[in-house]
Amino acid sequence: MVTVIGGGFAGVEAAWAAAQRGARVRLCEMRPVSMTPAHKTDKLAELVCSNSFKSLLPDTPAGQLKIEMEQLGSLVVPLARRHAVPAGEALAVDRELFAASVTAAIEGHPKIDLVREEVLSLPEDGPVVIATGPLTSEGLAAIIQQLTGREHLHFYDAVSPTVDASTIDTDIVFAQSRYDKGGDDYLNCPFSEEQYNAFVDALLEADQAPEHEFEKLQYFEGCLPLEEIARRGRRSLAFGNFKPVGLMDPRSGQRPHAVLQLRPENLDKTLYSLVGCQTRMKWGGQKKVFSLVPGLESAEFVRYGVIHRNTYLDSPRILFPTLQLRRDERILFAGQLVGVEGYIESAAAGIVAGINAARLEEGKGPVIVPSESVIGSLLNYIATCPNKEFAPMNANWGLLPDPQPEIRDKGLRREAKLNAARQAIGEFASEVGMLEAVGG
């Protein structure tokens, strides 16, 4: 039997994917026996934040992700379409009807047993999928720490924004490490004094995102929000996160007044994160403020900065791209725990975990989703991200491999990526197969 722990988006998809491929599944959800600070009902796949699942347009990463999930037999995407509410190009749902329909589908599946209890120990036999999300109970979090090592489980995000490398202005930004030590892995955005002061003014005026009671954080000095540092004095960033020492702007031959550094976010260097720029600014404010950084005026942000409670694993160090635990391949993880951001991204990881759990139960080897697909690019990122400060990611163009030979035109490059994704997921879906849908 396959055991799935957690009845959120990832958990229901994992249970459904495994059951649809013939496995007997035990799905454990602790609500309503034990509630979380955010959930209000006992329904599976309850939405606790926005009711939007992002774009439906088929030529966007979010739209293609939904298409890929449906090709693999998704439960939540068809039900979301069924209970959609008007939201322009986005897929948004009536949250109560959606959660009720997901719950009914799971309860009605002949191969899924829904158990309402908090899991405080793992079964000794059969594949186990842990998909308990950012509000994992203390008891299960302790078990996960034992499985993975305490240093590999994080309880909050302090994440800097990330930009698409192809949208950085390389006429302004230059590659250099401090004092020319360690290669040219870092890119540098050089501020003049005037540009720096304008940035600080905008930073201090920007609106902050509200903090939920259950997200109360005690900031460490090493991960203070950028705006909190700026409040300590106008020059505090120039002497701290944006210090220019050891760097020389090749255009002027002089040391800049301040420097914001960019660090590669993946092995292909198609994404760069803004070093030391974790923030609680609202997303609209982040776009406005960070567009004042020299060289990022037209940059496309694939992820904005956050500081909030979010339990997740240091996946590149402990998980295979199959979502199996390196220490114990019988155990798989899915959802936000593995380092994906968003309802649909979490659900997509659940599908893959469910497919592989069913294969393990049947005595088959696990499968790796091709990185040319949107789902595969996400799982490749969480399994191979080279940064020591691994941070969660959502679906975006920058994760997909660049076409070869290189295509310089952005529109044509994205079209090539999309075509490659469609071909790759089609072949993969044929390989893993699915049964006819039941229930729902």
- Quickly state the pLDDT bin for 158 (edges 50, 70, 90): low
Alpha carbon of residue 376 to chain centroid: 13
CA–CA dist 382, 395 (Å, integer): 12
What is the reported pLDDT for 436?
A: 44
High-pLDDT (> 70) share of the chain, %: 94
Query: Which band of pLDDT confidence, cut at 50, 70 and 90, is reported for residue 438?
Result: very low
310 sits in the region (left: phi over 0; alpha: psi -120 to 50; else beta) called beta
Q: Which amino acid is it at 419?
A: N
Q: What angle do CA 439, 39, 350 make, to 5 degrees?
A: 50
> pLDDT band at residue 190, thresholds of 50, 70 and 90?
very high
pLDDT (tens digit per residue) in 56-93: 999 999 999 999 999 999 999 999 999 988 777 889 89
| pLDDT tens string 293-314 | 999 999 999 988 877 667 899 9
- CA nearest to 139, candidates 113, 114, 115, 117: 117
φ, ψ dihedrals at 91, nearest 5°? -100, 110
Residues 333, 129 contacting (CB under 8 angstroms): yes
The answer to whether 83 and 101 are in contact (CB under 8 A) is yes
